[in-house]
């Protein structure tokens, strides 16, 4: 059996005496595009950060068990906060993603420019290469930061609300790209709020509520009308479309009103 790209067991986080993540077991294998869903404050970001070893946690994550240099070559992370500290050209910001690939002499790979240009072209960002990263719109910057993740060509990608701030066409393009990367053998763990996109593009959904995983299965088994009401407070229905069944939230459920 192919070993998982991410393996988490008994992961827990307590902050300021409050448990914000507890007993989380999860694995992501090659070929999987796993959507991490749940209402605000459910623990999605906490899970991603703990899995990467960015915050103090209990339990096991296969990533934190790796030396940092190996971890950086294995997993790329797209954080929820999108801040760029320096007014650097987009091309240079994307090239920073290749820092873990430096040789012992601290030089970047010889084909850096080529790799960066390729990823910018693939994301239709070629015209942005010489723009200053701090002078982009929110959605443009989001795509540039995604380029910085993709240029790393890591087996595993963790993305926190990567579709936030993107227009609808860009959201669909991004989810399609993540699914494509999974089909090509990568492992993806992406948190998102759009349950329609999650159901359509993810191979599996992990539903979180109050710091715990409450369901982990193929999308239509996770997103049942009962869970939509009990976890999200929504009345929702599936509508048949040529692309397959499409989940449409209709209103706040009786339980939420
Ligand atoms: N730095 C922090 N210190 C203390 N508590 C925190 C901190 N960051 C988050 N929390 C709490 O941890 C819980 C989980 O937060 P987290 O950001 O993981 O949720 P989330 O599912 O990603 O939410 P959202 O969809 O709103 O981004 C929340 O109750 C939040 O208030």
Give the model confidence (pLDDT) of 193-203 as tens digits. 999 899 999 99
CA distance 191 to 193: 7
Centre of ligand 1 to C-alpha 150, Å, is 26
- Per-residue model confidence as pLDDT tens digits over 69-113: 899 999 999 998 888 888 999 999 999 998 877 766 666 666 778
Task: Return the bridge partners of 239, or none.
Answer: 246
E-strand stretches of 150-203: 156-160, 187-191
Largest CA distance in the chain: 63
Other CB atoms within 10 Å distance of the CB of residue 102: 13
CA distance 85 to 146: 16
Report the atom number in ligand 1 closest to the C-alpha of 43: 18
Contact 26, 206 (CB under 8 A): yes
The pick from 13, 15, 210, 214 for probing ligand 1's pocket by mutation, whose C-beta has the most ligand atoms within 8 angstroms, reads 15
| Closest among 164, 195, 205, 206 to 47, alpha carbons compared | 206
Where in the chain are all domains bearing CATH 3.40.50.300? 6-223
Q: Match domain 6-223 to its CATH number in 3.30.2350.10, 3.90.870.10, 3.30.1490.20, 3.40.50.300.
A: 3.40.50.300
Compute the mean pLDDT over every residue in the chain, rounded to the nearest whole number. Answer: 91
Q: How confident is the model at residue 191 (pLDDT cuts 50, 70, 90)?
A: very high
Phi and psi torsions of 70, nearest 5°: -75, -40
With a CB cutoff of 8 Å and minimum separation 6, the contacts of 55 are 13, 15, 46, 49
- Per-residue model confidence as pLDDT tens digits over 126-182: 999 999 999 999 999 999 999 999 999 999 999 999 898 899 999 999 999 999 999
- Per-residue model confidence as pLDDT tens digits over 18-57: 999 999 999 999 999 999 999 999 999 999 999 999 999 9
168-183 and 138-150 helices cross at what angle (nearest 10)?
Answer: 10
pTM of the model: 0.93
Contact 64, 145 (CB under 8 A): no
Give me the pLDDT at residue 93, please: 94
Give me the pLDDT at residue 257, please: 46
Residue nearest atom 3 in ligand 1 by C-alpha distance: 15
């Amino acid at each position: 059996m192919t070993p998982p790209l991410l393996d988490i067991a008994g992961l827990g986080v307590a902050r300021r005496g409050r448990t914000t993540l507890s007993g989380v077991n999860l694995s992501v294998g090659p070929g999987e595009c796993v959507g991490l869903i749940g209402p605000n404050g459910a623990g999605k970001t906490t899970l991603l950060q703990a899995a990467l070893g960015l915050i103090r946690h209990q339990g096991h994550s296969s990533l934190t068990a790796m030396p940092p240099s190996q971890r950086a070559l294995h997993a790329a992370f797209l954080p929820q906060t999108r801040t760029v500290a320096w007014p650097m050209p987009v091309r240079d910001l994307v090239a920073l993603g290749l820092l873990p690939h430096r040789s012992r002499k601290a030089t970047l790979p010889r084909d850096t420019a080529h790799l960066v240009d390729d990823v910018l072209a693939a994301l239709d960002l070629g015209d942005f290469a010489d723009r200053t990263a701090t002078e982009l719109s929110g959605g443009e910057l989001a795509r540039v930061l995604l380029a910085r993740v993709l240029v790393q060509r890591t087996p595993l990608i963790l993305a926190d609300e990567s579709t936030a701030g993107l227009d609808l066409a860009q959201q669909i393009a991004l989810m399609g790209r993540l699914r494509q990367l999974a089909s090509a053998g990568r492992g993806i763990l992406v948190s998102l709020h759009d349950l329609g996109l999650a159901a359509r593009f993810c191979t599996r959904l992990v539903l979180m509520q109050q710091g715990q995983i409450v369901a982990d299965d193929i999308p239509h088994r996770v997103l049942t009308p009962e869970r939509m009401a009990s976890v999200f407070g929504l009345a929702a229905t599936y509508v048949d479309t040529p692309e397959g069944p499409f989940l449409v939230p209709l209103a706040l459920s009786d339980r939420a009103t």
